[in-house]
Amino acid sequence: MLKLVTCIKQVPMVSELPWDAKTGTLKRELAEGMMNPACKHALEAALLLKNRHGAHITAISMGPPMAEEVLREAVAMGADRGILLSDYPMAGADTLSTSYTLARAIEKECPDFDLILSGCYTNDSETAQVGPQLLEELNIPGATFVDQFEIKGNTIRMNRTVDEYLEILEMDLPGLITVSTHQYNPRYASLSGVEDAFNRADITRLGIDDLGIEPEMTGIKGSATRILDVYSPTTEKKNDVITGSPKQIVEELFAKYDDKIGSAIGKDLKDYE
């Protein structure tokens, strides 16, 4: 039976949240949480595999204690087990220390996995980094933004859209894919599933001692990046009036804007001089 791991993140349900200026992180406690949409698509892809071929699905998440909600939701939808990585030293992690922590937990709890599925990016920070960093940490092959895939034997064949092209890739398992939101529309959890997710679900909560990792390697201490500032971009419109004879106007227009016009029409205008 296939052994699948889906990485799931809880994200705030609203788009605009107060920012903690001291730590440069979101004040998540002020919002209701939800399962990150792309993670939900990844979970759906795993559930389809389970329906077709039979599979054991472990949903794993790192986050505050309330992230347990999304693991229970994953179980309600059909995952078999949930693992929550939650510990004070894990707080404030960037993508590097998140993927480090996830990797150590997967090595410990699901060492014989066949495939890890994660969302292609999260709605709250949109870095799309955790998937690729995780496969580096685990030293396994992977592909990102996978639209559709199928598994035959020990091989996974994937479709992904790159610019305007459809790319078909194959790789050996074990591996990792990040799933796009183009296919695999998530199912609704059944009400019986919700009951089971609370009455008989297997949810494990692990801290740094359980994983045997040093506090310096995780959370804000293990992070290589710091968010210095976050603000909503402001845009303004300015009219630029060019006067003169038609020839002068055209020359001045091109002198000022040839880069922008060129990029808009996809040609380098300097080639035409």
| In the complex, least distance from residue 196 CB atom to another protein, rounded to whole angstroms | 9
Burial of 174 per CB tally in 10 Å (0-12, 13-18, 19+) = buried
CA separation, residue 253 to residues 7, 244, 262, 268, 270 (Å)? 51, 11, 12, 15, 14
202 vs 259, beta carbon nearer another protein: 202
| In the complex, least distance from residue 60 CB atom to another protein, rounded to whole angstroms | 19
Q: Are 157 and 170 in contact (CB under 8 A)?
A: yes
Under rule CB under 8 A, residue 72 binds another protein: yes
**Which residues, 16 to 45, sit near another protein by CB under 8 A?**
34
Under rule CB under 8 A, residue 192 binds another protein: yes
Asked if the bond preceding 64 is cis, omega within 30° of 0, the reply is: no
Q: What is the DSSP letter of 187?
A: P
| In the complex, least distance from residue 191 CB atom to another protein, rounded to whole angstroms | 4
88 vs 198, beta carbon nearer another protein: 198
Interior angle at CA 122, CA 121 and CA 123, nearest 5? 125
Under rule CB under 8 A, residue 195 binds another protein: yes
| In the complex, least distance from residue 147 CB atom to another protein, rounded to whole angstroms | 22
| In the complex, least distance from residue 189 CB atom to another protein, rounded to whole angstroms | 5
Q: Which listed residue (51, 190, 248, 263) binds another protein by CB under 8 A?
A: 190
- Written as one string, the DSSP assignment of 25-88 is EE-GGGS-EEE-HHHHHHHHHHHHHHHHH-EEEEEEEESSGGGHHHHHHHHHHT-SEEEEE--G
| In the complex, least distance from residue 273 CB atom to another protein, rounded to whole angstroms | 53
Under rule CB under 8 A, residue 198 binds another protein: yes
Under rule CB under 8 A, residue 191 binds another protein: yes
Q: Which listed residue (3, 36, 61, 68) binds another protein by CB under 8 A?
A: 68
Across the chain, where does the E strand assignment appear? 2-7, 10-12, 19-20, 25-26, 33-35, 55-62, 81-85, 115-119, 142-152, 155-162, 165-172, 175-179, 203-206
**Which residues, 130 to 189, sit near another protein by CB under 8 A?**
188-189
Under rule CB under 8 A, residue 76 binds another protein: yes
| In the complex, least distance from residue 200 CB atom to another protein, rounded to whole angstroms | 10
Only one of the segments 70-78, 83-91, 165-173, 243-251 lies at the binding site for another protein (rule: CB under 8 A); that segment is 70-78
Q: What is the largest CA-CA distance in the chain?
A: 80
Only one of the segments 95-103, 105-113, 147-155, 192-200 lies at the binding site for another protein (rule: CB under 8 A); that segment is 192-200
Under rule CB under 8 A, residue 69 binds another protein: yes
Give the pairing of strands 203-206 and 81-85.
parallel
Q: What is the DSSP letter of 90?
A: G
User: Contact residues for another protein (CB under 8 A)?
Assistant: 34, 68-69, 72-73, 76, 188-192, 194-195, 197-198
